[in-house]
Amino acid sequence: MSTHSRIVFHGLLILFLWFMCMPLQARLNIEIFGGGTERIPIAIVPFADENRLQQRVTDVVAADLQRSGLFRLIDPSGLAPYAPAEVVYSDWTNRGANALVIGRTILMPGGQVEVQFRLMDVARQVQLTGLATVVPVTQLRAVAHRIADIIYEALTGDVGVFSTRIAFVKKQGNRYALQIADSDGYNEHSIIEYTEPIISPTWSPDGSQIAYVSFENKKPVVYVQTLATRQRRAVANFPGSNSAPAWSPDGKKLAVVLSLHGGSQIYLINADGSGLQRLTRSSGIDTEPSFSPDGRYIIFTSDRGGSPQIYRIPVTATESTAAERLTFEGNYNVSPDYSHDGKSFTFIHRHNGRFNVAVQDIATRQVQLLTNSQLDESPSFAPNGRMILYATDIGGHGILSAVSRDGQTRQHLSAQTGDIREPAWGPLLKQ
Amino acid sequence: MKTIAGVLIIGLLSACASQTTQPTVDVEDRSVGVNGSGADSSALGSGSSGFHPLNDPSSILSQRSVYYDYDSYTVKNEYRSLVIAHAQYLRDNPNAQVILQGNTDDRGSREYNLALGQRRADGVKNIMTLSGARASQVEAVSLGEEKPRAYGSNESAWNENRRTDILYRGE
């Protein structure tokens, strides 16, 4: 696809950009494709005294903004303004920066840090926004994500998702852990650990619960776990297999896949496990449901046409309702996830033995392939639809990756060790 | 649990010695090196009389795995007699129950593979119920690609993992 030619075309540019970002991004392995002319050029000056902190705030901010694919980082070296009065705007105009981030950190007694930041408009020579806050040193990454969100929102007009969380499954030896981490893969912690597989974690719309599939009883059973209390309940534990949970947008129902009446078919069930209701009726496999954001439709994978393809059905479907086939390219399209504006979905497309992340526009049916790796799995849209989180295989191990919606920026989130799979991007939390 | 596994392993060792067509054995623990080479059944016990029929290495009932082609859930002819033998055992032993675990190789979507494994287990269940087993004796479930018996991204590992296992309750 066009991505390939872009790689060749812009190989030098990648190297150049990568080189430029080396000191900042050495661990983060960001790959950028394409010219980046539409990217917002932004200079982020390391905050005053942040080298004395265990976590440099601006490193996190820069990585967040760059990963989104919408920003181009301008090298600030040699210049170090910390306050508006110290900014010489012509310096930044000469370097091509449209926006400038400055600030300072002040270590306070009792392990607290005051963080001040300002976003400056270089052309108009005014402050656009800013923040001053006091936090424990342990919260420095959280503050950095918040700052990245403020900058993102001020410069793109879109909502920032850097303060959201992600869930994924980590396998280490014979242990399977369901983990939660920041959107950049850092600050991971387990919410449950088993010696049997866990798959398909998915966030409740309010972010307070996670549904997942556990094999601890020698077969797949769907559980819902409340994060704050760690309490959990089996919501689908019927004879046969129970899997592929998806939350309705109002959080009241789950779509699940059961083999209760033969085959693998999609059912709706209340979040407390009551009110089971069958949704699909095919003689084949129907699985991987995903609700539209308005709650009216479910897209899912089915092999009813002979090969696994993605279909759409109204949640009010009756026995006579025909599902609408959405994918037609290739003979293996699986794992759909609706975008949060309901206009597109991301999925895994197989071609030439590779499994890659793709996005399809629902109205035009236009498909865009976003990755070119060997084995990608479980794509999950960011709540603002601008990035997609997925798992990819590197040397037999799964790692988390993020790709921008346009496919031009990809990053391995390599903070974790172990075999990572089944990522799910959590919702925006109302503050 | 340990002793059952031990009995199984002994049974399987001799099964391997006498049946070269069956590619593998039905135990999770592979550390004992059950390769089918060099195991002498006469050295391990006194023929079949000491075994429960399900574990008797000379009985087809000791065979517990059905293997599949890529993307297929069709039970191949070479495995039908095995499945039918278990169905007849279930017919003759109404208190016996089995759980059928369908498995897949690790390529593709985990949930789709879970559904594919379910189809494999359902297919075995179908043959069993048509051959005399009661539906209530047979639960078909799927482990998808989650419990590979063989590791690695190569044909032999994939072949090994495309499988339905027959497990008797209480074993």
Give the pLDDT confidence score for residue A32 in this predicted structure: 65
Whether B42 is in a domain gets the answer: no
Query: Closest-CA residue in chain B for A422?
Result: B110
Q: What is the DSSP string of A236-249?
A: E--SS-EEEEEE-T
- Do B146 and B96 share a structural domain? yes
| Structural domain count, chain A | 2
Question: Which residues in chain B are closer than 8 Å to A394, comparing Cβ atoms?
Answer: none
pLDDT by 10s per residue, chain B, length 171: 444 444 444 433 333 333 333 333 333 333 333 333 333 333 333 344 578 888 888 899 999 999 999 888 999 999 999 999 999 999 999 999 999 999 999 888 999 999 999 999 999 999 999 999 999 999 999 999 999 999 888 889 999 999 999 999 988
The DSSP code for A426 is P
pLDDT score, position A58: 97
Interface test with chain B among A195, A215, A219, A259, by most B beta carbons within 10 Å: A259
CATH of the domain at A70: 3.40.50.10070
Same domain assignment for residues A200 and A296? yes
A113 pLDDT more than 50 = yes
Do B142 and A332 lie within an 8 Å CB cutoff? Answer: no
Q: Which residues of B touch A348 (CB under 8 A)?
A: 108-109
Q: Higher-confidence residue: A371 or B31? A: A371
In this structure, are B89 and B114 located in the same domain? yes
- Domain identity same for B98 and B159: yes
B136 and B166 together in one domain: yes
Residue B43 lies in a domain: no
Kindly state whether residue A123 falls inside one of the protein's structural domains: yes
Backbone angles phi, psi at B69, to 5 degrees: -80, 165
- ipTM, 2 dp: 0.87
Does the residue A4 lie in any domain?
no
Identify whether residues A152 and A225 lie together within a single domain. no
The two beta strands, A126-136 and A189-194, are unpaired
Q: What is the spatial distance between Cα A17 and Cα B79, in angstroms, rounded to a whole number?
A: 58
Q: Is residue A52 part of a domain?
A: yes
Q: How far is A297 from chain B (nearest CA, A)?
A: 20
Residue A128 lies in a domain: yes
> Does the distance separating the beta carbons of A218 and B99 come in below 8 Å?
yes
Work out the angle between the directed axes of helices A57-67 and A11-25 (0-180°, nearest 10).
Answer: 150
Residues B33 and B68 in one domain: no
Q: What is the pLDDT of residue B49?
A: 56
Judgement on whether residues A195 and A134 belong to the same structural domain of the protein = no
Q: Is A212 helix (H, G, I), strand (E, B) or coil?
A: strand
In this structure, the answer to whether residues B149 and B125 fall within a common structural domain is yes
pLDDT of residue A178: 96
Residues written for chain A? 431
Look up tokens 């000191």; give the residue. Answer: A23
Residue span of the structural domain in which B32 resides: 1-37+51-59
CATH no. for residue B133? 3.30.1330.60
Considering the domain boundaries, does residue A399 fall inside one? yes
- Report pLDDT digits (tens) over A192-248: 999 999 999 999 999 999 999 999 988 899 999 999 999 999 999 999 899 999 999
**Least Cα separation, residue A197 to chain B (angstroms):** 6
| Average pLDDT rounded to a whole number, residues A287-307 | 97
Residue B100 belongs to a domain: yes
- Evaluate if residue A157 carries a pLDDT over 50: yes
Q: Say how many CB pairs under 8 Å bridge A and B.
A: 96
Q: Does A239 touch chain B (CB under 8 A)?
A: yes
pLDDT value at position A418?
82
Residue A256 placed within a domain: yes
- For residue A217, the 8-state DSSP code is T
Residue A355 has which token pair? 């499994």
Assess whether A285 and A345 both reside in one domain: yes
Residue A37: per-residue pLDDT: 56
What domain range includes position A291?
A: 165-425
Could you tell me the pLDDT band of residue A397, with boundaries at 50, 70 and 90?
confident
Are A421 and A391 in contact by the 8 Å Cβ rule? The answer is yes
From A128, A156, A184, give the residue that closes a domain: A156
**Domain total of chain B:** 2
Examine the domain organization and report whether B85 and B168 are in the same domain. Answer: yes
Structure-model confidence comparison of residues A380 and B33, the more confident one: A380
Over residues A26-53, the mean pLDDT reads 77
pLDDT at A252: 97
A280-289 tens-digit pLDDT:
999 899 999 9
pLDDT score recorded for residue A136: 95
Interchain proximity B111–A301, CB inside 8 Å:
yes
CATH code for position A314: 2.120.10.30
